[in-house]
């Protein structure tokens, strides 16, 4: 099984960025735990702060991989182009948010992406990525 995790803008700063909201673990440390736990799954990781690069990655993996876990960061709330890319590919995409966006500012309550995703995991901290993997295993 081949899974792609894609993290969008500012998520390279996990562990440093607003730790009261996003926790104090770096994504790299968390990823190491995930890869140990799911040793039989290939977990690929990509992070970009650039909208078009996220779209390119979705196109690249979206016709052959078994699943994508996408945390598009703030592009979730703004990007019709990423929503279109999710609709264009065959691989199921699961939208992940570390924080509970519904407890936060109103502008975070709307996602352009959700309607094109298989499901959404919101507010479980970093553990949301593991829950996403579990949901793909269940298919």
Q: How many CB atoms lie within 10 A of CB 102?
A: 11
Q: Is 84 flagged in the annotation as binding?
A: yes
User: Which DSSP state fits 16?
Assistant: T
Contact call for residues 79 and 114 (beta carbons, < 8 A)? no
Residue closer to ligand DQA by CB (options 33, 42) is 33
Q: Return the exposure string of 24-38: e unless at least 16 CB atoms fall within 10 Å of the residue's CB, then b.
A: eeebeebbeebeeeb
- Stretch 20-39 residues interacting with ligand DQA (CB under 6 A): none
**Subset of 82-121 contacting ligand DQA (CB under 6 A):** 97-99, 101, 108
For residue 32, CA distances in Å to 29, 106, 120 come to 5, 34, 23
In the bound state with ligand DQA, the residue whose beta carbon lies nearer, of 1 and 28, is: 28
State yes or no: 138 annotated in a binding site: no
Question: Pairing state of beta strands 2-7 and 67-71?
Answer: parallel
Shortest separation between residue 74's beta carbon and ligand DQA, angstroms: 4
Q: Which of 30, 65, 97, 112 is catalytic?
A: 97
State yes or no: is 129 an active-site residue. Answer: no
Q: Does the footprint of ligand DQA cover residue 74 (CB under 6 A)?
A: yes
Q: Is 99 annotated in some ligand binding site?
A: yes
Our CB check for ligand DQA shows the closer of 1 and 21 to be 21
Contacts of 110 (CB under 8 A, 6+ apart): 77
Residues making up the annotated binding site for substrate are 71, 77, 84, 98-99, 108
Active site residues: 22, 97
**Which residues contact ligand DQA (rule: CB under 6 A)?**
10, 71, 73-74, 76, 97-99, 101, 108
């Amino acid at each position: 099984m081949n899974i792609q995790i894609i993290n969008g803008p500012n998520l390279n700063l996990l562990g440093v960025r607003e730790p009261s909201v996003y926790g104090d673990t770096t994504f790299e440390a968390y990823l190491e735990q995930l890869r140990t736990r799911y040793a039989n799954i290939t977990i690929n990781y990509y992070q970009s702060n650039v909208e078009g690069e996220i779209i390119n990655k979705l196109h690249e993996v979206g016709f052959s991989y078994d699943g994508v876990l996408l945390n598009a960061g703030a592009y979730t709330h703004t990007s019709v182009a990423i929503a279109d890319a999710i609709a264009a590919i065959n691989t199921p995409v699961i939208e992940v948010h570390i924080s509970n966006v519904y407890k936060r500012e109103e502008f975070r309550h709307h996602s352009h992406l959700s309607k094109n995703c298989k499901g959404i995991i919101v507010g479980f901290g970093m553990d949301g990525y593991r829950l996403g993997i579990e949901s793909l295993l269940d298919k």
